């Protein structure tokens, strides 16, 4: 079963590309080789990541407009590099208290970063669950050498626990272009969408007081939003199309994009149920198992 839905996605603004180039050049001037993805600058060797959220906001609100950006970028990057943390020097209790589980898109992740985090587990075929140490000002990617200090799974469980303890935000309703409504949770921080790694806690807050025997449709178009809808009602098939359009369009518009796809969360795992054809738009591919549920063959 395929439900083709084509939408126009805005191209990234020239301002975004120029700001990314300013940031990359400033890091390079300080001897740090990074790749900018959204509002995060990641070292190409996978050892660290730097949050650019404060820097981006300062540039967007600068009284002098683009003319102020080189100065702001210089000031902020100097602080970020100077505040970098060597995780190997931190005691175990500090690591356990500061580590946070996060979701990153596989697309655009440098091979060096992937090799430095072999502990990372796939969330879906295009998303990866990793660990980041949150120092309060920047996030530092946790490498294998630090994870190996702990018994298997210990640091990962701490990361999920710390993630679930962060401020949650608000849950509202969004109506798609087809007129079908679904819930969208919006969080206050740029790691909010990573809460899909703590689904029981997320669902207890977003849709409390019920079970989900057939799972949920889930979208994480950017780092601040999670869309959810129970497969067992209201009727999920038309909602699925509207959610796919929402994910596709919001991902294209956001400066903090995560994934343009739609997922089915069932039995504790995520399955991607959409793809982007070469001609553009979005194509839904629920597969036989979800298709049987949607058509009432499984209850």
Q: What is the mean pLDDT of each run of 10 residues along the chain (299 residues)?
A: 34 73 88 84 80 87 86 85 75 93 84 84 93 73 91 95 93 93 91 94 93 94 94 85 93 86 95 85 87 71
Place of tokens 């889930």: 218
> Which has the closest alpha carbon to 245: 278, 214, 280?
280
CA distances from 230 to 94, 220, 298 (A): 38, 15, 14
User: Which residue stretches of the chain are H helix?
Assistant: 14-29, 53-60, 69-82, 92-98, 111-116, 144-147, 154-164, 199-206, 236-253, 287-294
Torsion of CA 106, 245, 172, 136, to 10 degrees: 20
| Cα 123 to Cα 275: distance, rounded to the nearest angstrom | 16
- The owner of tokens 């990359």 is 24
Give the pLDDT confidence score for residue 295 in this predicted structure. Answer: 77
Q: How many CA atoms lie within 13 A of 251 on its CB side?
A: 23
3-class secondary structure, 191: coil
- What pLDDT score was predicted for residue 129? 94
- Distance from C-alpha of 166 to C-alpha of 136, rounded to nearest angstrom: 12
User: Whole-model pTM?
Assistant: 0.74
């Amino acid at each position: 079963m395929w439900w083709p839905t084509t939408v126009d996605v805005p191209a990234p603004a020239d301002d975004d590309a120029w700001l990314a180039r300013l940031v990359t050049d400033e890091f390079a001037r300080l001897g740090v080789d990074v790749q900018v993805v959204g509002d995060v600058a990641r070292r190409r060797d996978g050892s660290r990541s730097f949050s650019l959220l404060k820097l981006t906001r300062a540039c967007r609100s600068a009284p002098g407009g683009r003319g102020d950006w080189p100065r702001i970028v210089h000031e902020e990057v100097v602080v970020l590099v100077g505040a970098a943390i060597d995780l190997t020097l931190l005691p175990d209790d500090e690591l356990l208290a500061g580590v946070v589980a996060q979701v990153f898109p596989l697309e655009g992740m440098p091979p060096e970063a992937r090799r430095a985090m072999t502990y990372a587990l796939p969330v879906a075929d295009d998303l990866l669950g990793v660990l980041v140490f949150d120092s309060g000002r920047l996030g530092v990617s946790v490498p294998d050498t630090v994870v190996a200090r702990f018994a298997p799974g210990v640091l990962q469980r701490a990361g999920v626990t710390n993630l679930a303890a962060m401020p949650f935000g608000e849950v509202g309703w969004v109506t798609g272009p087809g007129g079908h409504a679904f819930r969208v949770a919006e969080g206050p921080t740029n790691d909010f969408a990573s809460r899909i790694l703590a689904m029981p806690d997320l669902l207890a807050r977003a849709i409390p007081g019920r079970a989900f025997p057939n799972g949920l449709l889930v979208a994480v178009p950017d780092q601040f939003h999670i869309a959810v809808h129970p497969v067992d009602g209201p009727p999920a098939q038309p909602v699925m199309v509207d959610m796919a359009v929402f994910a596709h369009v919001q991902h294209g518009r956001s400066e903090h994009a995560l994934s343009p796809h739609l997922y089915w969360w069932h039995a504790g795992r995520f399955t991607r149920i959409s793809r982007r054809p070469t001609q553009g738009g979005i194509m839904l591919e629920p597969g036989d198992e979800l298709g049987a549920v949607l058509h009432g063959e499984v209850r």
